[in-house]
Amino acid sequence: MNRPLKRPLLSRFSPPQLIALSFALAIAVGSGLLLLPFAQQSGQRLDVLTAIFTATTALCVTGLKLIDPAQTLSVPGQLIMLLLIQLGGLGLITFGTVFALALRRRVNFSERMRLAQQVSAFDVGGVLGLIRKIFVYTLIIEGLGTVLLALRFVPQFGWGQGLYYSLVHAVSAFNNAGFSLLGNSLQAYRADPLVCLTMCALVILGGLGFLVQVNVVAHLLRRRSERLLVHSRLVLTTTVLLLLAGTLLIAALEWNNPATLGPLPLGEKLLNSFVSSVMPRTGGFSTLNTELLRPATLFLTIFLMFVGASPGGAGGGIKTSTLAVIAGSAWSMVRGQGEMVAFHRRIEESTVLRAMTVGLLASAVVGVMLLLMLAFNTTPRLDFSHLAFETVSAFSTVGLSMNTTPDTNAAQRVILIVLMYLGRIGPLTFALALGQRVKRQDVSYPPERDILIG
């Protein structure tokens, strides 16, 4: 306010516009870099659409792929992808966290800002201090992940390649990017609890959101003074319930499927059920061949992908808190109670409306795009379930695929690029826009109650 001339260009854009623009710019730069010869292995030649697709899937931490980065890209090219992944993931966590705090500060100016207080318990000195903390936290988690993965990869691949693979997979997992240099994602490691559980832990932490983790750590360290926020409780409860229910349902549905869990021993059955429950939300790695899952499991996976991770993290989807508010308020309406109560707090109608609108808009985007994917389809092998799965996977930036992506045509690839971009910036910027603008109608119209519903 005191320095109106300092950032004349940036200040012309609203925060949602800034996010949209910065992601679009990064995709353009990333595609350009990937098109340079040094980024590709000799004998390979990326076309422009594939380069844009690859930059988008990296920056939007999706993981759908037209090319195998280990085969097509040189090591510098792979590092460009890794940088895009790290930028995309960090960008999301940072944007999400900073704007969540800024938003709250503006809306509830007169109130105590509990969320900000929690962060200030860690001596956050303004936005720059917060960003530095997010960076350090990211480096620590990714470092720990690299060390754990190196215990397996270094003996297997030697120091150089082993450490490189460990780093790539740790960064990819924490940012929920779903990229692997191992060919068939994690299928070669389905019997390896160390790799599977490390990757799951990284995906879960990266998808949980920074503020929730700060809140939990503060609560554990200083139980008296730091309460677990309602938001943290909602996110953690929903995450645990979805992981548990997903694991049990997938185990039940796939137990005897000869193409997936059937031939595995008991322990691996459970381990792979857990991995298959974690990864749709929205890590995108897989230990089983997705295409060979049973139709019911595929449908369940589509639902898990649509829900996705939690706000303020690197994952996609409509988010756990959105699902919790939608389900909780629908349930309290069915029971004839006016408002949803969670953990002894009323959830206000404006929050409920926002959650339901996010859920319905996401459904609308997925629906329209799926209609287009179906209408433009020219590959007979790709049926309804392939394209529905692919559409949700792109929108929620999951990256799982029923081996569909390479068989799509150019029109469908453009649609997937749009989906990844919308799915990445959509829920965040939309939630921001919803929370921010409180434009009032100029004319106050009389209310109308006599609308029959249902």
Omega before 320 within 30 of 0, i.e. cis:
no
Residue among 322, 393, 396, 404 that touches a copy of itself (CB under 8 A): 322
Question: Rule CB under 8 A: is residue 262 a binding residue for a copy of itself?
Answer: no
**R_g (Cα) of the chain, nearest Å:** 22
Backbone angles phi, psi at 73, to 5 degrees: -95, 145
DSSP per residue, 113-166: -HHHHHHHTTT--HHHHHHHHHHHHHHHHHHHHHHHHHHHHHHHH-HHHHHHHH
For K ion, the closer of residues 89 and 162 by Cβ is 89
Question: Rule CB under 8 A: is residue 361 a binding residue for a copy of itself?
Answer: yes
Residue 87: CA atoms inside 13 Å, Cβ hemisphere, count? Answer: 20
The b-or-e profile of 244-275 (16+ CB within 10 A means b, else e) is: eebbebbbebbeeeeebbeebeeebbebbbbb
For K ion, the closer of residues 133 and 424 by Cβ is 424
The number of residues making up the chain comes to 454
Query: Beta-carbon neighbour count of residue 24 at 10 Å?
Result: 14
Question: Rule CB under 8 A: is residue 13 a binding residue for a copy of itself?
Answer: no
371 to 430, contacts with K ion by CB under 5 A? 399
Q: Which stretch binds a copy of itself (CB under 8 A): 33-41, 195-203, 334-342, 407-415?
A: 334-342
In a 3-state reduction of DSSP, which class is residue 340?
coil
CA 34 to chain centre: 23
44 to 63, contacts with K ion by CB under 5 A? 63
Residue among 39, 115, 124, 278 that touches a copy of itself (CB under 8 A): 115
391 to 420, contacts with a copy of itself by CB under 8 A? none
User: How far, in Å, CA of 99 to CA of 71, rounded?
Assistant: 39
Question: Rule CB under 8 A: is residue 375 a binding residue for a copy of itself?
Answer: yes
Residue among 170, 173, 326, 392 that touches a copy of itself (CB under 8 A): 326
300 binds, among a copy of itself, K ion, none (CB under 5 to 8 A by kind): a copy of itself
User: How far, in Å, CA of 215 to CA of 288, rounded?
Assistant: 35
| Torsion, Cα of 145, 141, 281, 94 (10° steps) | -150
For K ion, the closer of residues 235 and 400 by Cβ is 400
Could you tell me the smallest distance in angstroms from the CB atom of residue 61 to K ion?
A: 5
For a copy of itself, the closer of residues 377 and 408 by Cβ is 377
User: How far, in Å, CA of 426 to CA of 444, rounded?
Assistant: 30
User: How far, in Å, CA of 291 to CA of 257, rounded?
Assistant: 12
Question: Rule CB under 8 A: is residue 220 a binding residue for a copy of itself?
Answer: no
Question: Rule CB under 8 A: is residue 321 a binding residue for a copy of itself?
Answer: yes
Size of the residue set binding K ion (CB under 5 A): 6
Residue among 284, 313, 359, 427 that touches K ion (CB under 5 A): 284
128 binds, among K ion, a copy of itself, none (CB under 5 to 8 A by kind): none
284 binds, among K ion, a copy of itself, none (CB under 5 to 8 A by kind): K ion
Residue among 156, 337, 378, 409 that touches a copy of itself (CB under 8 A): 337
Q: Which stretch binds K ion (CB under 5 A): 176-184, 189-197, 380-388, 436-444?
A: 176-184
Question: Rule CB under 8 A: is residue 112 a binding residue for a copy of itself?
Answer: no
- Report the greatest alpha carbon distance in the chain: 74
In a 3-state reduction of DSSP, which class is residue 51?
helix
Tokens standing for 20?
């949209």
Question: Rule CB under 8 A: is residue 338 a binding residue for a copy of itself?
Answer: yes
Q: Which stretch binds a copy of itself (CB under 8 A): 58-66, 157-165, 176-184, 225-233?
A: 225-233
For a copy of itself, the closer of residues 199 and 402 by Cβ is 402
Residue among 35, 388, 398, 422 that touches a copy of itself (CB under 8 A): 388
User: How far, in Å, CA of 453 to CA of 423, rounded?
Assistant: 30
Question: Rule CB under 8 A: is residue 266 a binding residue for a copy of itself?
Answer: no
Contacts of 351 (CB under 8 A, 6+ apart): 325
Question: Rule CB under 8 A: is residue 380 a binding residue for a copy of itself?
Answer: no
From residue 405, how far is each of 179, 375, 414 by CA, in Å?
14, 16, 12
399 binds, among K ion, a copy of itself, none (CB under 5 to 8 A by kind): K ion
Q: Which stretch binds a copy of itself (CB under 8 A): 5-13, 32-40, 185-193, 433-441?
A: 433-441
Question: Rule CB under 5 A: is residue 69 a binding residue for K ion?
Answer: no
For a copy of itself, the closer of residues 131 and 147 by Cβ is 131
User: How far, in Å, CA of 387 to CA of 366, rounded?
Assistant: 11
Residue among 80, 195, 370, 420 that touches a copy of itself (CB under 8 A): 370
Question: Rule CB under 5 A: is residue 206 a binding residue for K ion?
Answer: no
Question: Rule CB under 8 A: is residue 307 a binding residue for a copy of itself?
Answer: no
Identify the CA nearest to 133 among candidates 193, 77, 214.
214
The binding site for K ion (CB under 5 A) comprises 63, 176, 178, 282, 284, 399
